[in-house]
Structure 1
Amino acid sequence: MAIALPKPIADYFAADAAKDADGVARCFSDEAIVRDEGHAYSGRDAIRQWKTASSQKYSYTVEPVAIAMEGDRTVVTGHVAGDFPGSPVDLRYGFTLDGGKIAGLEIVA
């Protein structure tokens, strides 16, 4: 069963599924920060480079399976499967939204 996601988050997952790093970057505000695998990526250019590198490194799919609010963050649990060590895994995507854009994203296991 599909879950209803706020538009910026739905757009993020759609662009990620299409392996569209530019589309992913457009989902974020100019000063957004992404935290993933112990690294932080600040700004759209760094986010575009992060997404390009991660999409080239592994082949994967993400299926959002749950959504919850935790304070000011929208947390989406995504079932991630692919050719990476430990696949499949459920990851938590913690989104902070601002003005119709993603201002922050933290991805954790």
Structure 2
Amino acid sequence: MTQNIQLTDLPQPVITYLERSRGNQRKTAIDTFDADALVVDDGHQYRGTSEIAGWLDRVVSEYEYKTTFLRAERDGHATVVVSRLEGTFPGGIVDLKYRFLLDNRNETIRELTIAP
């Protein structure tokens, strides 16, 4: 069962990731992840902070885009954020779901899955 939540009610690691994952703060976005975290994006898996840092650099430098927050919800233990991306990537516009699983203390991101 999903429960809608406000952007301000998101767990702090999710807020921090969303703030830092674009632009010139992307290098510090890696601090929001567990050392052995998993990111799944566009059919590829990135495990651990080294691979995730490389993924962040590639995603941010490959295309120019702006992000608009649409909604957030709790789905069991996961926090799901839906955002619209508009930019220079193929198609130019897409709504993406960011599904976050946090560590037991809600201090770091254990898993992030990004999908349309």
TM-score (norm 1): 0.91
Q: CA RMSD in A?
A: 1.4
Percent sequence identity is 31
Q: Gaps (5+ residues) in structure 2?
A: 1-5
Asked if the contact 2:20–2:26 (Cα under 8 Å) also holds between the matched residues in 1, the reply is yes
Compared CA separation, residues 32 and 14, structure 1 to 2 (3 A): same
The question of 1:53 aligning with 2:58 is answered yes
Q: 1:4-38 CA deviation, whole Å, 9 max, x = no partner? A: 22211111111113343321111101110000000
| Residue 19 of structure 2 corresponds to residue 14 of structure 1 | yes
What residue is the counterpart of 1:94 in the other structure? 99
Residues 60-86 of structure 1: per-residue CA shift (max 9 Å, x gap): 122222111112110100111111111
Structure with greater Cα Rg: 2
**In structure 2, what is the equivalent of residue 103 of structure 1?**
110
Gaps of 5+ in 1: none
Equivalent position SS for 2:14:
helix
Matched residue of 1:79: which SS?
A: strand
Q: How is 1:30-49 mapped onto 2 (pairs within 5 angstroms)?
A: 30-49=35-54
| TM-score, normalised with respect to structure 2 | 0.86
Where has structure 1 moved over 3 Å in runs of 4 or more? none
Aligned length: 108
Say whether the 8 Å CA contact 1:15–1:21 is kept in structure 2. yes
* Structure 1 residue matching 2:92: 3-state secondary structure: coil
CA shift for structure 1 position 96: 0.3
